[in-house]
Structure 1
């Protein structure tokens, strides 16, 4: 039963206008063939109608129907000049409204929350004007749903090259509407069914929601070139007003194929190999097969590592590959040469003694598989280049350790060395040859004498009067410096000699020592002061006794008052602290009477 609603003022006005025109003419209805919309969105279907003559006096009726098939047709809306009605108990009772666009002769059916069940449903607009006739039009609703991104899965195990068509990968796309389409690509080129070469199989599944999922399998006869090929699937699908595309991720497949060649090489070290290196061989074929078996000089595996190689490891090395599944046997060779540098030989060897001012020469060499360079060093400094060391007029400065270093320029860090100890023997040579003067005020003085000599010299200390102070024999190093020390007792200016001698000669140095005894001078000054003090006391005593400088007109009371000649000082303890001098015989005297 229909529900009667009050017609919208605009729509009622339109119907009244058409009624008052009253012209007798046919009614023309125009509608779009289809309206496309995404699932869940709102669809709007427009019905446009007009009459040849709007002058008639009849009324107008508007009705909407949905048509799924000839057996499934139902009115969903009706309207006349007085009221509008949305029919109950239809799939659209709760989802439709009807209105106008504001233009005469245009009515819009709005369908909310479009469902998959609305797809391919035709919506008819029926218009009847009394006294003029009727007309109708139809629009089909198309519903779309964008599918999920496609997924691709390659076969986990490798595929052997053969004449058989084998599964390569599978592709799936879910929840699209209408049904999506899958196309396979290899290196951006589409793949289609080719008998005995390529097979593409599609399977469409309708979900409970009504959406479509599509699975596609790609089977191929795999070739060797497919080892580097890139495979992916492309999904095309419809959307309102267009066609769109989604691509899956790209994958590679593992292809097994028999080898046709094999190669063996030294992986490390780079460049020339020398004794002591760790050498690693690698072997590889151009095949890719699970049944390949490698050996290098009867050692299983694709690699061979040898540590601390010597020249005896030089030779030809062979790698063999056997592919039993494909009945293939291949081999390859490479030559290893281990370069060497023998120990350095110096002639003469060990420790050598050379007479002072004489010439000395030595040779140094080492056998090697490559060209060498030789350099002589002493104390870390280069002294000669080449195999020969030539020294002229050797001195004690020439003595020391000589190191011969032999290097191979073509190989970094390839070198060897040996050393020679050179001793120069000759007469003593005292370093301080000039006259040495020293001043001191000490009673003892330590003197030092530096001598270069080999063999060890006899060192004697003596004075100018021929007295031997000390005899010593100290060598700190063969061919280096001797250091002699002596303690000399000093009482006056002294001359001391350091004499050094050995079987080749002698040498000496003189030390002139000037003694400055400041202690004796001070003692003499003190004695003089004491003597002056004693002399002053005696003179004063004699003066007091009148033995000297006797004063005229005065009586000598020395004998009479000798027992009473005392000077007494009396101290008063009162606050004035007055001092009264007591004269001879205890008489008081004022200070100015003294």
Structure 2
């Protein structure tokens, strides 16, 4: 804001009246600071007013060039104006109708002071200054981390990383973070931590900065995450920021602690693959030497880089003490670099059976099966036949054995506290003696001769019985499973066969047993079937079904005949009875011709199947039903 007036030459009123222009004043308003993003248009206003009776008004815009000289760049007077030539702003700016200065595209070089001066003749002049600020956010930060191995045993700092931020205006600031916490790193050099910053002004006028972090790392930094943060100002007092990617350090530090453990399985049995893992907290990963300790003597087993020792398909002989030694020559002498672990391999010996794996028992006798086993822990024993559990414990007794109890019995041994540790052993029990016939149908009823029937005979015994039939000329089909033998024959039934004795006999060295069959042929039906049906589960010729159909048809025909005579009698076509005689001779018969008379007993004629009431009584010459 500025104003000007005429110098007073005394206090004479006449003099003041003689100079009326001395009462004119120029007032001007220009913003102290104008902010704009690089490449954006910007307008710098110049608001002014003149009181009194102003003369011609002149508005001018000035800059201070690189040589420090004041230089006009635009003007307006009496409604006419323009842009001064031969300046750095020729063709880059103009004045709008409000006499404001307009830059269509702001550049970094435009960051300077612009002065607006208004001159009104005798009223004097006034001037306002605006400072133009041009902002440009930086490019994403570039991070270059130290990829080498940093030793924690060094006594001085190491270069950790360099963070660069390019092409910004004003210059951004860079700070460092570890695990999300800001590192208060000084700029003075020391043996713990400091930063070195650099700033470069690019040919474009933009600024690039870099910051290098120096740090003496410790073992606590082995898992730390580092990053840099770039902050930069923006118009209207805002602050922008952008972060680099995280990075970690590759450190070299000595081993302080050793861990040696059984990794898998936690409960070991014979046949398992066992993994022992040894781990030291040094970096880089040290070498590991594994030993088997026996009678205070250590036998080297292997040297591993990954710290894993695998014992394939272990047996009880692998039980014992194992030792791991970490090879780290940077560790101080007080650090214990050896650890031991003891493993125990569970086992189960083969089972012992009594009387043996094959047992023969006489039919009706008793036998006791005994199973025993030993191992690292007492096993649990059960007996099974097939999938069925038949006994708990190591003893199973069979009383009064029959052929049905013969078969394979399995003794199973397991240790519940050791999953998968189990054994089994089988016993084949054979029951021997005289054959026994299995119960099967022995009586068969047949509808007619000529039918074919299948007869089955099944016997159990050991040694395996031989089956024979009383039927000559037949070829039986014999099959056997275990101690059971089955024989089947197909015969055609005849009357003589039905009357004969039919039997099947089973025989072995202990004796024989006979099974008899009875065949019975039913009387023939009223309407015999055209072909004899088959017996024994299938009836290819009609069978008993055809006989039933024939009986039903006969009954229906009989009912129809009875109904027919009944209806005829009711209509008068048939006489149920008559008192007169009926002559069977010609109307004119001779004396020599015999005469046949039919006399009906009244009561007998009226009592019968065709009488509707079942009683007598009727008029002369009438019809009765």
Counterpart check, 1:342 vs 2:349: yes
Counterpart check, 1:507 vs 2:513: yes
Structure 2 counterpart of 1:90, from 75, 87, 91: 87
- Give me the whole-angstrom Cα distance separating, in 2, the residues matched to 1:160 and 1:497: 103
**Which stretch shifts more, 62-71 or 131-140?**
62-71
Q: Label 1:84 to 1:487 Cα distance change in 2 as closer, same or farther (>3 A).
A: closer
Shift of 1:321: 0.4
Counterpart check, 1:300 vs 2:339: no
The answer (yes or no) to whether the contact 1:264–1:283 under 8 Å persists in 2 is: yes
Q: Label 1:433 to 1:138 Cα distance change in 2 as closer, same or farther (>3 A).
A: closer
Shift of 1:177: 1.1
Q: Label 1:128 to 1:434 Cα distance change in 2 as closer, same or farther (>3 A).
A: closer
Structure 1 counterpart of 2:107, from 112, 115, 123: 115
What does the per-residue CA deviation read over 1:505-524, in whole Å, with 9 as the maximum and x for residues that have no partner?
44222112346999xx999x
Matches within 5 A, 1:236-247: 236-242=231-237, 243-247=239-243
- Give me the whole-angstrom Cα distance separating, in 2, the residues matched to 1:264 and 1:235: 46
Higher normalized strand content (fraction of residues): 1
Shift of 1:244: 2.4
Matches within 5 A, 1:351-370: 351-370=358-377
| Structure 2 equivalent of residue 549 of structure 1 | none
Task: Report the TM-score when normalising by structure 2.
Answer: 0.72
Shift of 1:417: 0.8
What does the per-residue CA deviation read over 1:477-519, in whole Å, with 9 as the maximum and x for residues that have no partner?
563335475979956121122233445444222112346999x
Q: Label 1:326 to 1:461 Cα distance change in 2 as closer, same or farther (>3 A).
A: closer
| Count of aligned pairs | 487
What does the per-residue CA deviation read over 1:375-407, in whole Å, with 9 as the maximum and x for residues that have no partner?
211132221121111111111111111111112
Matches within 5 A, 1:178-189: 178-187=170-179, 188-189=181-182
1:93 aligns to what SS in structure 2? coil
- Give me the whole-angstrom Cα distance separating, in 2, the residues matched to 1:145 and 1:443: 114
Shift of 1:289: 2.8
Shift of 1:123: 1.2
Q: Label 1:394 to 1:61 Cα distance change in 2 as closer, same or farther (>3 A).
A: same
Alpha-carbon RMSD across the aligned residues, in angstroms, is: 3.0
| Structure 1 equivalent of residue 214 of structure 2 | 219
What does the per-residue CA deviation read over 1:140-191, in whole Å, with 9 as the maximum and x for residues that have no partner?
2221111011122322122110222011112111111121111111222233
- Give me the whole-angstrom Cα distance separating, in 1, the residues matched to 2:139 and 2:58: 46
What does the per-residue CA deviation read over 1:418-447, in whole Å, with 9 as the maximum and x for residues that have no partner?
111111122221113775346473498764
Structure 1 counterpart of 2:414, from 383, 392, 407: 407
| Structure 1 equivalent of residue 541 of structure 2 | none
Shift of 1:82: 4.8
| Structure 1 equivalent of residue 396 of structure 2 | 389
| Structure 1 equivalent of residue 141 of structure 2 | 150
Structure 2 counterpart of 1:333, from 325, 328, 340: 340
The answer (yes or no) to whether the contact 2:152–2:252 under 8 Å persists in 1 is: yes
Q: Label 1:139 to 1:422 Cα distance change in 2 as closer, same or farther (>3 A).
A: same
Matches within 5 A, 1:559-578: none
Matches within 5 A, 1:104-143: 107-119=99-111, 121-143=112-134
- Give me the whole-angstrom Cα distance separating, in 1, the residues matched to 2:224 and 2:466: 94
What does the per-residue CA deviation read over 1:350-389, in whole Å, with 9 as the maximum and x for residues that have no partner?
2211122222111112212134222211132221121111
2:119 aligns to what SS in structure 1? strand
The answer (yes or no) to whether the contact 1:289–1:323 under 8 Å persists in 2 is: no
1:251 aligns to what SS in structure 2? coil
2:53 aligns to what SS in structure 1? coil
Counterpart check, 1:432 vs 2:425: no
- Give me the whole-angstrom Cα distance separating, in 1, the residues matched to 2:81 and 2:481: 131
Q: Label 1:82 to 1:487 Cα distance change in 2 as closer, same or farther (>3 A).
A: closer
Counterpart check, 1:79 vs 2:79: no
**Structure 2 regions of 5+ residues with no counterpart?**
1-19, 292-299, 531-625
Matches within 5 A, 1:20-39: 24-39=23-38
The answer (yes or no) to whether the contact 1:458–1:473 under 8 Å persists in 2 is: no
2:106 aligns to what SS in structure 1? coil
Matches within 5 A, 1:256-275: 256-269=252-265, 271-275=266-270
Q: Label 1:24 to 1:503 Cα distance change in 2 as closer, same or farther (>3 A).
A: same
**Structure 1 regions of 5+ residues with no counterpart?**
1-20, 102-106, 524-594
Q: Label 1:458 to 1:179 Cα distance change in 2 as closer, same or farther (>3 A).
A: closer
- Give me the whole-angstrom Cα distance separating, in 2, the residues matched to 1:489 and 1:192: 118
